[in-house]
């Protein structure tokens, strides 16, 4: 598979594949969600299962024909439960949040008896970003879910990121483990010791074909010039495909910075459940939600 380097290339890949993923959309009653879903249906890479729609939406989707179905639900809570049930029954390949509280959807996703997060799996968020001036997509975790990853959670984040990169056509993903400097500091930054443990496991082949290094700062991870100027040797050579942030604060600040000051386009999904979950933030527009659907569909 050819490496996908932009969101346009991602959509082209999905259109050429001619395979519609079944997306259970919970309460698609806002303009941006409907815009994203309509566009993805029109492009031919999803079928929409619209769960808990108001009457106006129900009339609108009649024009979708066979590629959209309505599922009645009286409340957001019922809609979330029904959408998760569709996933559990094998009738949906992707779950998407519409106009409801995130807690309501996650309560259904994480339900110990009827949810879709297998026991022992870690729930984490992965963002794919297209930053103007950068020649390829950047993947990073976690800007939304895990406050301070422990060793088990960080290894899960790494495995999910590697799998995601491979699904986007990167055969040997290069991953940078981020810190504010390039030195291991057990006292001040104890997670940097875990970084070295992950690198050792990677070198032993525990994660398949990949290149992992760290701690590295953001610039030395993504800029060969910055790396060489500081005289640092790294197998990534300043060309990381993906970034593992030390905590949610660093990841979230990076996300907000590139979208505000760089006008980056982003797509985000939750990994860990049995299907990808598109969980947009309140500030995401229809374009971001559309590309998140594409990201989940691949």
Write the pLDDT tens digit of every residue in 247-292. 999 999 999 999 999 999 999 999 999 999 999 877 789 999 999 9
Residue 186: pLDDT band (50, 70, 90) is confident
CATH number given to 7-117+273-297 = 3.40.50.10950
Residues 180, 184, 188, CA angle at the centre, nearest 5°? 70
Distances (CA, A) of 168 to 22, 111, 161, 264: 19, 30, 11, 19
Q: So what's the pLDDT on residue 210? A: 98
Torsion region of 97: left, alpha or beta (phi above 0 gives left; psi -120 to 50 gives alpha): beta
In this prediction the pTM is: 0.95
Q: So what's the pLDDT on residue 281? A: 79
Domains of the chain: which residue ranges?
7-117+273-297, 124-265
Q: So what's the pLDDT on residue 63? A: 67
Q: So what's the pLDDT on residue 117? A: 98
Distances (CA, A) of 161 to 101, 110, 165, 229: 26, 21, 6, 28
CATH entry 3.30.300.30 includes domain 124-265? no
Mean of all residue pLDDT scores within the chain? 94
- Please give the Cα distance from 243 to 45 (Å, whole number): 28
- Please give the Cα distance from 145 to 140 (Å, whole number): 13
- Please give the Cα distance from 249 to 211 (Å, whole number): 25
Q: So what's the pLDDT on residue 282? A: 72
pLDDT tops 70 at residue 60: no
- Please give the Cα distance from 45 to 51 (Å, whole number): 19
pLDDT in tens, 111-170: 999 999 999 999 999 999 999 999 999 999 999 999 999 999 999 999 999 999 999 999
Residue whose C-alpha is closest to residue 6's, from 267, 261, 293: 267
């Amino acid at each position: 598979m050819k490496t996908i380097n932009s969101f346009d290339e991602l959509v082209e890949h999905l259109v050429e594949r001619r395979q519609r993923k079944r997306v259970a959309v919970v309460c698609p009653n806002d303009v941006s969600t409907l815009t994203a879903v309509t566009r993805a249906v029109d492009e031919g890479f999803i079928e929409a299962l619209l769960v808990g729609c108001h009457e106006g939406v129900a009339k609108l989707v009649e024009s979708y024909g066979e590629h959209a179905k309505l599922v009645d639900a009286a409340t957001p809570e019922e809609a979330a439960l029904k959408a998760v049930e569709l996933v559990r029954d094998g009738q949906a390949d992707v779950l998407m949040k519409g106009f409801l509280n995130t807690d309501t959807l996650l309560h259904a996703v994480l339900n110990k008896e009827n949810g879709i997060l297998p026991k022992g799996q870690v729930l984490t968020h992965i963002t794919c970003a297209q930053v103007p001036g950068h020649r390829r997509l950047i993947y990073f975790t976690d800007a939304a879910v895990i406050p301070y990853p422990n060793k088990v959670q960080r290894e899960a984040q790494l495995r999910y990121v590697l799998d995601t990169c491979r699904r986007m056509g990167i055969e040997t993903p290069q991953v940078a483990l981020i810190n504010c400097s390039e030195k291991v500091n057990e006292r001040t930054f104890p997670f940097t010791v875990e970084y070295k443990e992950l690198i050792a496991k990677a070198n032993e082949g525990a994660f398949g074909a990949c290149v992992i290094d760290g701690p590295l700062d953001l610039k030395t991870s993504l800029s060969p010039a910055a790396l060489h100027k500081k005289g640092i040797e790294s197998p990534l050579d300043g060309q990381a495909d993906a970034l593992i942030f030390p905590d949610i604060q660093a990841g979230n600040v990076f996300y907000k910075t590139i979208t505000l000051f760089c006008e980056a386009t982003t797509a985000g999904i939750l990994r860990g459940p049995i299907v990808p979950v598109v969980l947009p933030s309140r500030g995401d527009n229809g374009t971001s939600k559309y590309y998140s659907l594409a990201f989940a569909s691949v």
